[in-house]
Amino acid sequence: MVHDYFMPVTSAPARGGEWLAAGRPASPIATPESLGDDHRLIRQTAAEFVSTEVAPALDDLEAKKWARARDLVRRAGDLGLLGTDVPESLGGVGLDKAASIVVGEAVGACPAFATTFGAQTGLAIIPILCFGTPEQQQRYLPRIVSGEIIGAYCLSESGSGSDALSARARADRQADGSWILNGEKMWITNGGFADVFIVFAKVDGTQFSAFIVERGFAGVTSGKEEHKMGLHGSSTTPLVLADAKVPAGNLLGEVGRGHKIAFNVLNYGRFKLAGMCTGSAKAVVGEAVAYALSRRQFGQPIATFGAIRHKLAEMTERLYAVESMLYRTAGLIDAAVGERGHDASVVVGALEEFAIESSILKVAGSEMVSFVVDENVQIHGGNGFVRDYPAERHYRDARVDRIFEGTNEINRLLVPSMLVKRALKGGLPILDAARALRDEVMGPASAAAVPADDPLAQAAATVSAVKKTALLLLGSALERYGDTLADEQEIVMLVSDVISEAFAAESSVLRAEAAGLADASRAALHADAACLTAYDAAQAAEAAARTAIARLAEGDDRRLLLAALRRLLKIEPFDAIGARRRLADAITSRRGYLFA
């Protein structure tokens, strides 16, 4: 059955963030189940490469044998896995963003190599592809895409991480048009063995700009490997620029426009990181199930205990939600790019358009995988805490996902602020919707009847309620603080979380509806996963909204808002335990992640 949402939509091209105030999308969302044969083929190629070549190399990578990492990147290049974003004319295979996600998910099963791979494909290729001159593209891309040379991306410095634009590295133009760069970049992935670096430095100490710097240029050296908590199989070093000589032709983009490159690369990096997180989480769920089935206590496998089954189901449910958002966003970006994937400005425009979704995905993906690896350690008990089992390494490897590609705090703060900016520019009708909603929820109750025996219909109604809660909060916060809302970070973070819950719940429900129509035999499992996501979203939204409202309003206004919230989130009871038990049964009989 197909369910109705909040407000009518038009068939105009989708805009980033518009789903928050819009009703059901005019066309079906992209889902993992709707992937085509090309995607399935490249997924198989990538998965085989990871299981037969990357996984056996992990010990060598952890021992920092970077020649092995280079060989693996080269092999990935031979298989076409590095060039999904790159047109054939530049040595790539020119596929869509969904294909990049499929490959990223497969590689994500080995997070240390995925970091090397991500720096090569996202951080080195994308800046040159989207902002390089044709000459720069021809000079560098075919060799990076084939894996002949290794790339790295140098934005951060010891004093400027989140505040990347306050970098101190500087570039001075010489009389012959070439550049001298000085400074030290920090935490550079692939730093120990990369051949080419995208380096951000300020021209004359003021104009933030980007350069393509080769290791062979005079004055370029790498510092020592960092001693990290995790990702021991990935190289992280400083990059030292001491009067480094960079030819005139290696300025990337325009002087003073480096922020455009940095932010767009981050947009794409966040979206792709979420794919690596889902890939990693799928591998870990498989491990958790296998262990739970083999480990016996009290005379039976621990997989038979409700406490453990609850964990397996919750890992799956959270993974399902991120995967649903991820492929929906890939579909939105691919639709925006259409047939114009060869045009860099179109690709950059699409990445910018869906920057809100990318930030949501970065936070949700990294927190989901953190949860999954943590529960995996718990399922492993004492064995989860020792190095004999991979659970311990997964736990350490996942921690940085919440830090790089913009910390989760920065990404959380970005979501409402980007929405408000777009609304004020007139591009998104969010503020009108928030005002209309406030009048609606403060007025007499008018709940539409939803069939009690259709849990997915109930979940769709819950999605609508969570979206309304997000709008109510955003509208109330703007009314209370206006231009100074950005200074109220605690409120902004709560609003951000409710918005993300709404996106997760809606994407899951839309996916479950589509999957149920396409394959009745799997409909019930999809419905369970989506209903759990919607149910949890409502609970999380209610808790966040109550905390925010207590700060946003006082007296009668507060009472009215809380009453509106109660009315909005008055959802039917849902047997979450029953749904999780069914998911756990299916997971244990399949011995791994259930979907896609």
Subset of 479-508 contacting ligand FAD (CB under 6 A)? 489
Binding mask 510-549 for ligand FAD (x = CB under 6 A): ----------------------------------------
Measure the CA–CA gap between 164 and 118, rounded to whole angstroms.
20
Q: If DSSP codes are grouped into helix, strand and coil, which group holds residue 228?
A: coil
**Chain centroid offset of residue 539 CA:** 23
Question: Of 144 and 308, which CB lies nearer to ligand FAD in the complex structure?
Answer: 144
Q: Which two tokens stand for residue 63?
A: 């021992």
Measure the CA–CA gap between 498 and 172, rounded to whole angstroms.
46
Binding mask 240-279 for ligand FAD (x = CB under 6 A): ----------------------------------------
Q: Is the dihedral of CA 155, 157, 162, 164 positive or negative?
A: negative
Part in contact with ligand FAD (CB under 6 A); list of ranges 187-195, 357-365, 462-470, 543-551: 187-195
- Does 414 interact with ligand FAD (rule: CB under 6 A)? no
Question: Of 231 and 312, which CB lies nearer to ligand FAD in the complex structure?
Answer: 231
- Does 417 interact with ligand FAD (rule: CB under 6 A)? no
- Does 222 interact with ligand FAD (rule: CB under 6 A)? no
Residue 120: CB minimum distance to ligand FAD, A: 11
Figure out which of the listed residues 89, 138, 162, 547 binds ligand FAD, where binding follows CB under 6 A.
162
Of 473, 501, 500, 477, nearest to 488 by C-alpha is 477
Figure out which of the listed residues 344, 410, 418, 540 binds ligand FAD, where binding follows CB under 6 A.
410
**In degrees rounded to 5, what are phi and psi of residue 366?**
-70, -35
Part in contact with ligand FAD (CB under 6 A); list of ranges 101-109, 156-164, 324-332, 496-504: 156-164
Subset of 30-89 contacting ligand FAD (CB under 6 A)? none
Question: Of 162 and 221, which CB lies nearer to ligand FAD in the complex structure?
Answer: 162
DSSP characters over 384-451: GGSTTSHHHHHHHHHGGGGTSSS-HHHHHHHHHHHHHHHHHTTS-THHHHHHHHHHHHHS---PPP--
Measure the CA–CA gap between 154 and 211, rounded to whole angstroms.
10
Figure out which of the listed residues 60, 172, 409, 585 binds ligand FAD, where binding follows CB under 6 A.
409
Residue 236: CB minimum distance to ligand FAD, A: 5
- Among the listed residues 287, 317, 375, 405, the single catalytic one is 405
Question: Of 236 and 324, which CB lies nearer to ligand FAD in the complex structure?
Answer: 236
**Closest residue (Cβ) to ligand FAD?**
161
Q: If DSSP codes are grouped into helix, strand and coil, which group holds residue 368?
A: helix
Subset of 347-406 contacting ligand FAD (CB under 6 A)? 400, 403-404
DSSP 14: P
Any bridge partners for residue 297, and if so which? 300
By the 8 A CB rule, do 150 and 120 touch?
yes
HSE on the CB side for 470, CA within 13 Å? Answer: 33
- Does 119 interact with ligand FAD (rule: CB under 6 A)? yes
Question: Of 182 and 539, which CB lies nearer to ligand FAD in the complex structure?
Answer: 182
By the 8 A CB rule, do 66 and 235 touch?
yes
Residue 356: CB minimum distance to ligand FAD, A: 18
- Does 189 interact with ligand FAD (rule: CB under 6 A)? yes
- Does 166 interact with ligand FAD (rule: CB under 6 A)? no
| 254 a catalytic residue | no
Longest CA–CA span in the chain (Å) reads 80
Figure out which of the listed residues 100, 156, 264, 280 binds ligand FAD, where binding follows CB under 6 A.
156
Residue 154: CB minimum distance to ligand FAD, A: 5
- If phi > 0 it is left, if psi is from -120 to 50 it is alpha, else beta; for residue 573 that is beta
Question: Of 257 and 399, which CB lies nearer to ligand FAD in the complex structure?
Answer: 399
What ranges make up the beta strands (E) of 215-328? 220-222, 236-246, 251-252, 296-297, 300-301
Residue 62: CB minimum distance to ligand FAD, A: 14
Figure out which of the listed residues 109, 188, 203, 428 binds ligand FAD, where binding follows CB under 6 A.
188
Residue 187: CB minimum distance to ligand FAD, A: 3
Question: Of 156 and 508, which CB lies nearer to ligand FAD in the complex structure?
Answer: 156
**Residues whose CB falls within 8 Å of the CB of residue 417, separated by 6 or more in sequence, listed in order:** 486, 492
Figure out which of the listed residues 50, 73, 93, 154 binds ligand FAD, where binding follows CB under 6 A.
154
Residue 28: CB minimum distance to ligand FAD, A: 36
- Does 231 interact with ligand FAD (rule: CB under 6 A)? yes
Q: Is 306 exposed, middle or buried (0-12, 13-18, 19+ CB in 10 A)?
A: exposed
Three-class SS string for 26-68? CCCCCCHHHCCHHHHHHHHHHHHHHHHHHHHHHHHHHCCCHHH
How many CB atoms are closer than 10 A to CB 570?
11
- Does 196 interact with ligand FAD (rule: CB under 6 A)? no
Of 385, 552, 357, nearest to 472 by C-alpha is 552
Figure out which of the listed residues 117, 153, 268, 327 binds ligand FAD, where binding follows CB under 6 A.
153
Question: Of 101 and 414, which CB lies nearer to ligand FAD in the complex structure?
Answer: 414
Q: Which residues bind ligand FAD (CB under 6 A)?
A: 119, 153-156, 161-162, 187-189, 228, 231, 236, 400, 403-404, 407, 409-410, 489
* Residues annotated as part of the active site: 405
